[in-house]
Amino acid sequence: MAAAFIAAGLLCAQQKHPITNRNIADVMGFGGAPWLERAEREAEEAPEKALDAIGIEPGMTIADVGCGTGYFTRRMAKRTGPGGKVYGVDIQPRMIESLRRNMQQEGIGNVEAVLSKAGDPMLPRGAIDLILMVDVYHEFATPQAMLAKMREALKPTGRMVLLEYRKEDPNVPIRFEHKMTVEEAKAEIEAEGFRLEKVISTLPRQHILVFTPAKRRLQ
């Protein structure tokens, strides 16, 4: 099943990150959307446990970058409540259409769908408390440009959080280029003006990597 979603639509040519020489993974196309909503995901990724660990409070403004069908978007929208807002960001128009449809069906009104660009998440400057990327960063064709724009979008107290499948663990049944080590993420992201503040290792298969702008540290 893990291998199947990779074959469901590959949308970019292979290239390498200039700092780590990591192979940038192909983007999962809309054909893989059912994999995002699979029932097994609850056991494999423990999404509610992940959001508990990240810490989402009522009234927060959040961006789910690479939101796909809205699997995490809907959960965060419920947690941040009517006084908060979640931007569901994706580069694929059909994913955005699916996100809007899913939010409407569930009666969720505090989500704004954003069709992004390859080097720009199209988020408002200085407005975001939390940017979440779930198994997404490793697919960015232009990661340095995206990180620069996301840093601009964060509030001074904002956080950027990655969930990435653990490349260090050969038992995680995901293709190698769709996993990352802590060292890879740290090297690439700290070079763009962030600081790795925390690594949370409580999930079955993924790292939770918490970054903040380099000028400050979490308390």
pLDDT tens-digit series, residues 129-173: 999 999 999 999 999 999 999 999 999 999 999 999 999 999 999
The parent domain of residue 125 ranges over: 2-213
CB neighbours of residue 194 within 10 Å: 22
Mean pLDDT of all residues belonging to the chain:
92
What one-character DSSP code corresponds to residue 159? E
Sheet containing 154-165, strands listed edge to edge, beginning at the edge strand earlier in sequence: 111-115, 85-90, 61-65, 128-134, 154-165, 206-213, 194-200
Euclidean distance between CA atoms 119 and 22, whole angstroms: 18
Domain count within the chain: 1
8 A C-beta contact, residue 33 and residue 100: no
Res 11: pLDDT: 45
Give the pLDDT mean for 35-61.
95
Mean pLDDT computed over 34-54: 94
pLDDT at 4 over 60: no
Q: What is the DSSP letter of 120?
A: B
What pLDDT is recorded for position 58?
A: 97
Neighbour tally for 158: CB within 10 Å: 23
Cα distances (Å, whole numbers) of residue 161 to 29, 139, 150, 189, 210: 23, 15, 11, 11, 5
Tell me what the mean pLDDT of segment 75-80 comes to: 98
Q: pLDDT value at position 30?
A: 87
The predicted structure's pLDDT at residue 32: 83
Q: Which residue's entry shows tokens 């190698």?
A: 176
Exposed e or buried b for every residue in 57-89, given b needs 16+ CB within 10 A? eeebbbbbbbbbbbbbbbbbbebbeeebbbbbb
Residue 133 falls inside a structural domain: yes
Which CATH number does the domain housing residue 28 bear? Answer: 3.40.50.150
- Percent of the residues in the chain that have a pLDDT greater than 90, as a whole number: 85
Residue 218 forms part of a structural domain: no
In a domain? residue 15:
yes
Nearest to 206 by CA among 39, 54, 4, 30: 54
**pLDDT score, position 31:** 87
For residue 216, what pLDDT is reported? 54
Tell whether 219 is covered by a domain: no
